Amino acid sequence: MRSLDQNAMFHAWCKVVADHLQERKVMVSKDTVKQLVLRQLGNTKLIDNIPGLPADIVSMGSSHYKKSELELTKNDRAANFVSMSELLTRMEAWAATDLDGLILERDTHEST
């Protein structure tokens, strides 16, 4: 599972991104950023077999992410899942590329 340092960094980065967006009049909360990142950059699954409900894409909760790519199983790879380390890398790239060059600072104690 993802490390406590990775979890802390992910939540801190969600706050940094939310603050950055709010300064630009995009009124989203830290929790909204978290959900968007998990759904758009992270691991998702199509659920299309629940009677009475339409098909939907559900994001994996951050506590279920593996720490590094080395920990991903054959089934994880077949599902195109990424580790928490990769999710943080994707988030970092998205912020730098699409959020006016926003730099998300990495904690020097991060264990990925």
Q: Percent of the chain beyond pLDDT 70? A: 96
Sign of the C-alpha dihedral, residues 62, 95, 83, 9? negative
Q: What is the pLDDT of residue 108?
A: 61
Residue 110 has pLDDT above 60, yes or no: no
* Domain ranges across the chain: 4-98
Query: Residues 43-69: pLDDT tens digits?
Result: 999 999 999 999 999 999 999 999 999
> Residue 56 — φ and ψ, nearest 5°?
-150, 155
Residue 112 has pLDDT above 60, yes or no: no
